[in-house]
Amino acid sequence: MGDGGILFSPNRERLVSSNAWAFLHALAAGGGPALDGWAALLDWAAANPGPARQAVRAFAGQANLPAAGVGQLADLLLFLDIRPDDVALVADAQPLPWQYAGDVLRRYAGGPGEVLEQAAAQKATVLAVPAAWLDSGSFQRRQRLDLRALRTIVTLGGPLSAEAAGRIYAWVKSDILLLARAGDRVWGDPLGPVLSKPMMAPGIGSLIRR
């Protein structure tokens, strides 16, 4: 859902390799509901926070994780699609939800001008940076950066402008998944197309922490 055009649509191979896809299939296989997509998952989690927490615990193999931790883990695993072999380069001083990312987390302490270069150097698969950094940092370079490993960019504080998002696809990487988050609000989802003007939705973690 959202206004504007589609900037990128993940192919089926990419979708079925995502944590969110695996979670939906595990949920149905375990006797839970058969949910069709991300919006349906959010609706079910909002109506059934207890079963949703238990399903996330089972999926993550952490049966005793407290409710607040389950919410943070759901954001990382399902929305951000963090995996054990990822390198998540994060320019965010906030402890949550990143403290649940484990060994994949790399804190970025440099300036906005070098963050994409660092993502290339560290072979980052997930990059989380303030939206303003990419609004000004998505420009044509003399030599294209080697970002073959990069799968997802998460902008913090809100989504990119449609113009900046278009520049990402033109000059940074043509098959990147663009997501955004600000506290308990998110834009985009791991199972749908990237829209030039995505709509805001609640983060799944916020729905199951209560």
Mean pLDDT of 78-99: 94
> Is pLDDT of 48 > 60?
yes
Query: 20 near 81, Cβ under 8 Å?
Result: yes
Confidence of residue 39 (pLDDT cuts 50, 70, 90): very high
- 134-171 per-position pLDDT tens digit: 876 655 667 789 999 999 999 999 999 999 999 999 98
Q: Which CATH architecture has domain 2-208?
A: 3-Layer(aba) Sandwich (3.40)
> Is pLDDT of 2 > 60?
no
Mean pLDDT of 52-79: 95
pLDDT recorded at residue 1: 44
- 71-82 per-position pLDDT tens digit: 999 999 999 999
- 122-138 per-position pLDDT tens digit: 999 999 999 999 876 65
Query: 153 near 168, Cβ under 8 Å?
Result: yes
Query: 67 near 206, Cβ under 8 Å?
Result: no
Q: Give the span between the Cα atoms of 166 and 193, in whole angstroms.
A: 14
pLDDT recorded at residue 138: 58
> Is pLDDT of 20 > 50?
yes
Q: Give the span between the Cα atoms of 86 and 209, in whole angstroms.
A: 25
Q: Give the span between the Cα atoms of 120 and 124, in whole angstroms.
A: 7
So where are the chain's domains? 2-208
Confidence of residue 115 (pLDDT cuts 50, 70, 90): very high
